[in-house]
Amino acid sequence: MQIRDRYAPSPTGLQHIGGIRTALFNYLFAKSRGGAFILRLEDTDRTRFDPAFVQNLYDTFEWLGINWDEGPNVGGSAGPYIQSERFELYKKYAAELIAKDKAYYCFCSAERLDRIREEREAAHSSETGYDRHCRNISPAEAAERVKAGEAYTIRLKIPLGEGTKFHDHLLGDIEWKNEDVNPDPVLLKSDGFPTYHLANIVDDHLMGITHVLRAQEWLSSTPLHVIMYAAFGWEHPEFCHLPMVMGQDGKKLSKRHGATSIDEFRRQGYIPEALLNYVALLGASYEEGKDIYTLDELAARFSLDKLNKAPAIFDYKKLEWYNGQYIRMKSDAELAELCLPYAIEAGLFSGGPGSAAPGPGAPSQAKGPSPEQRNTFTAAMPLIKERLVFLHEAAEKLGYLFSEPAVPGAAEFIPKKMDLPQAVGLLQQGRDLVKPLAEAADDAGAETFIKEWAEKNGLKLGDLMMPLRVAITGSRVSPPLFGSLRLLGAEKSLARVDRALAALT
């Protein structure tokens, strides 16, 4: 049997962590078993549907590097893969259930349903859902009323006085009393649109879905789905309800915990491989003592038997660690390419970076780098690679290389236990070292030179370097000084030292 599973989002919002985790697990499971991963758009909720959300889905998965074997934009033998293009199928199968006496026409108006609900609330009744008012209308009468043009829905006949059993790969054997299932739910609405449940079951069957991996919040719908499969006479797929993704407070992950949409993570400067690596570990284990995996390595190791029953806790600090690890795994050229859109958006090449960059994809009038600036930007990657957590931070950390930093207040130049005249003296001595440091072949040569000079002149190395660092970069905390001097060159570096001395004296 070929494994066939699917990701079936409703395009009514942006792609978020929970959805991506579901899609990723389906992708990894299919690939681990040589199967097919399918994308299906469940767009029957037309009130909240927006084409922009469909595009967001495509853009998100392209960025993540996850491809489906069949889907709306790639085709396949089981299409169409968009539910709004399959309405005639749903009508056909709803009619089939009518013919099998597994469903019935319901002529109750919205006003009657509202009245029943209000009466129950007033009486504090524990009854919920439909009261099955139309369940026992004879088929002949129902057909006549339909023929006469009376508005109707089609409802499923939930078997009375029975229970429904199914096996979940993670949770084991599960049994529900049918009295706890939504009473005779609507399958086909009065406007001819299918409900989620009808479309979902028909599509999964016709598309040959063998395994349904979805979040545990869908567990309560599964008894209804099993009943529907039995009503059609179809075998239901295997089910696996994935552990929930929770915040640190133990509640379902949401915006109150921080970024949840993939667009937000992308704007913040996360690398897609880092996000995928971390999300793949939310509720699953792979190999003892290993943290970093490629997508292919994850697929080779993925198994439903390694899923955890307990909810997964989303740890933003751990994700930041992963992002830093992947940043350091990039070559200088690769990292520069990743950081460049954020740097442009921040205005790095237009006179100095602003605040945090919105990231790639946002409209911008910001100036791109000249060839010389681009070379400098790439050459500066070794200075910040070990310090970056997010891609957008490159602009702030390297701003001093592309625009003249403001001269800080005098206090910033003064080493501990010294005064301003002493700091000025150190900076004047440091000025004589700028040219040899800037022209040193590498950091090792520069460090040897300045250490020997400081020792010869009876100075602490840290005290000597602090005023020079502040004059060159505009800050006590900056990328390595020796590399900065080499990138700026002796002439520009000396000009900055002279400007600082002029401001201090």
β-bridge mates for residue 155, sequence order: 104, 186
Comparing CA positions, the residue from 466, 478, 473 lying closest to residue 416 is 466
> Contact at 8 Å (CB) between 217 and 244?
yes
Question: Is 451 part of the annotated catalytic residue set?
Answer: no
Q: Peptide bond preceding 353: is omega within 30 degrees of 0, i.e. cis? A: no
d(CA 441, CA 420): 33
**Rounded Cα distance, 256 and 364, in Å:** 29
Contacts for 257 with CB less than 8 Å, ≥ 6 apart = 247, 248, 249, 314, 316
Q: Identify the CA nearest to 72 among candidates 130, 156, 8, 1.
A: 8
Instruction: Please give the Cα distance from 213 to 218 (Å, whole number).
Output: 10
Which residues, at least 6 apart from 482, have a Cβ–Cβ distance to it below 8 Å? 437, 440, 443, 446, 447
Identity at 265, one-letter amino acid code:
F
- The values of phi and psi at residue 139, to 5°, are -55, -35
Catalytic-labelled residue, pool 177, 251, 255, 309: 255
Longest distance between any two alpha carbons in the chain, whole Å: 109
Rounded Cα distance between 498 and 490, Å, is 12
The answer to whether residues 473 and 405 touch, using CB atoms and an 8 Å cutoff, is: yes
DSSP annotation string for 78-102: T---BGGG-HHHHHHHHHHHHHTTS
Under 8 Å between Cβ of 416 and 428: no
Q: Which helix (H) or strand (E) holds 21?
A: helix 17-32
Q: What does the alpha-carbon distance between residue 211 and residue 217 come to, in Å, rounded to a whole number?
A: 17
Contact in structure between 468 and 430 (CB atoms under 8 Å): yes
Are the beta carbons of 395 and 342 closer than 8 angstroms?
yes
Q: What is the helix (H) or strand (E) element at residue 389, kind and residue range?
A: none
Show the beta-strand stretches assigned E in 221-309.
238-242, 245-246
422-428: Cβ within 8 A, 24+ apart: 423/466, 423/467, 423/504, 424/467, 424/501, 424/504, 424/505, 426/459, 426/463, 426/464, 426/466, 426/467, 426/468, 427/467, 427/468, 427/471, 427/497, 427/500, 427/501, 427/504, 428/501
Known catalytic residues are 255
